[in-house]
Chains A and B, each alone.
Chain A
C-alpha cells in the first residue's frame, strides 16, 4: 500500500472545493513551513530531520535573499539543480567514454585536463545565464 504513494508522479490531485488546483510548490510551502508544530513526546517530526527542510527552505526563500546572506552552496548541490545534475551526468558519460579509449591513446592526460576545464566553464556559464540575459535586454 505504501508503494502506491512512493511510486511518484501518479498522485491524485487535490481539487475538492478549491477554485484552482493547487500546485506542488504551494502545498509544500504550506505543509513544511506552517501550521501547528509539536515538539517533544513524539516519535518523529520534521525538526529532527534538518537536511531536507534546509534545502526546501532555501528554495522557498528567494534566491536573491539567499545570495545576500552568502548562502550559495545549493547552486552546487545536484539534488536541487537539474541543470547541474545534467551537467554531472554529461561529465560522467564523457569520462566513461574517455576511459574507454584511454588504453590506446597516449594523449589522454592532456585530453582529460582540457575536458575538466571545459565542463567547469560550462557550469559557470549556465549559472550566470540569467544575468547575461538581463544585461542583453537592457
Chain B
C-alpha cells in the first residue's frame, strides 16, 4: 500500500453543506471536509509517490501536470467558495495526516476566522486592461506641408508619429488609473497585481492593469455595469470572475500560535 498524504485545498466557514460528489480532488479522489468549531478544511488523500517532495520537484517541471493540478485545485476551491466564505490555500500544500490539518484548525482558529469574516458575502473579480495603441495619423499641426523637401517631410512625420504614440501611452496609463479608482470605489477591498507577461497572458498588447476587486455580492451587478461603462477605444478591458477571494486571503500561517497575521 502506497503512502498517502493529505492535500489541503481551502479553509472555509463550516456552513454544513457537503460538497457535491462530482467535485474530485487533484488525483480524482473525492474531497472531504475536516471540521472544527465553525471551520472546515477541505482535503483529499494524495499518494506521496506523486505528491512527496522529491516527485513534486519533477512533476512541477511538467507544465501539463501543473496546469491540470492547478485547474483541479481551483475547481475544488470554487465549489467550496460557492457555498461558504472561503480562504484558498496555495497549490500543493500537503500534510502527513488529517490529524495535522485538524491541529492547524485548532491552533490557528482565530486567525482563520478573522480572514474569513473579512471576505464574507463577497467574491473576487479580476479586471485586466490592455492598451490598444492605434496607428496614429500625424496630427494636423505637425503634418508636412507640400513645400517641404522629402527629408523634412519625413522628419516631421516621424516626430509627429513618435509624439502621437507617447501621448497615446500616457493617456492609456491614465485611463488605467481611472479604471482602477472607479472600480475600487465599488469594492470592499482591491489589489493591483503585477501585469502579466505577454507569454502568460497570451496577448501581445501591453497589460496596463491587473486588478483584483473584492466585491459584495449585493453590488455585483453595479460592479459589472461599471466595468462595461469603462470600456473604450484606447483600452480593452477583460473581466474574469467571480473567483474565490484568492487575492484577499494572503496570510502566512506559521507553525506557532504567537505569529501575527500579515495584512492582505
Are both chains from one complex?
yes
Contacts of B243 in A (CB 8 A): 18, 22, 30
Q: Is the CB of A25 within 8 A of B200?
A: yes
Task: State the Cβ distance, B54 to closest chain A Cβ, in Å.
Answer: 9
A2 vs B62: C-alpha distance in the bound complex, in angstroms?
14
Contacts of B95 in A (CB 8 A): 41-43
Q: Is the CB of A37 within 8 A of B90?
A: yes
Contacts of B242 in A (CB 8 A): 17-19
Where chain B touches its partner, the secondary structure class is mixed
Residue of A27, A29, A43 touching B52 (CB-CB under 8 A): A43
Residue of A1, A19, A39 touching B255 (CB-CB under 8 A): A39
Contacts of A17 in B (CB 8 A): 78, 82, 242
Q: Is the CB of A44 within 8 A of B65?
A: no
Contacts of A28 in B (CB 8 A): 66-67, 70, 200
Selecting from B43-51, B145-153, B171-179, B180-188, the interface stretch reads B43-51
What is the count of residue pairs linking A and B with beta-carbon distances less than 8 angstroms?
214
Known: A37-B90, A43-B48. A51 touches B71 (CB 8 A): no
Residue of A11, A20, A37 touching B250 (CB-CB under 8 A): A37
Known: A2-B50, A51-B60. A36 touches B88 (CB 8 A): yes
Using CB atoms, name the residue of chain B closest to A17.
Answer: B82
Using CB atoms, name the residue of chain B closest to A34.
Answer: B246
Q: Is the CB of B251 within 8 A of A37?
A: yes
Q: Mark B49-84, 1 if CB is under 8 A from A, else 0.
A: 011110011011110111111111111011100100
The residues in A between 30 and 55 inclusive whose CB is less than 8 angstroms from any CB of B are 30-46, 48-49, 51-52
Contacts of B194 in A (CB 8 A): 60-62, 65
Which residues of B pack against A, CB within 8 Å?
A: 5, 8, 11, 26-29, 47-48, 50-53, 56-57, 59-62, 64-75, 77-79, 82, 87-96, 100, 103-104, 112, 115, 126, 135, 158, 161-162, 165, 193-202, 207, 224, 239-243, 246-247, 249-256
12 extra A-B contacts, CB within 8 A, seeds A28-B66, A81-B199: A12-B71, A14-B78, A20-B241, A30-B247, A31-B77, A31-B90, A34-B249, A36-B253, A39-B255, A42-B94, A49-B57, A61-B194
Which residues of A pack against B, CB within 8 Å?
A: 1-2, 4-9, 11-14, 16-20, 22-46, 48-49, 51-52, 58-63, 65, 79-81, 137-138
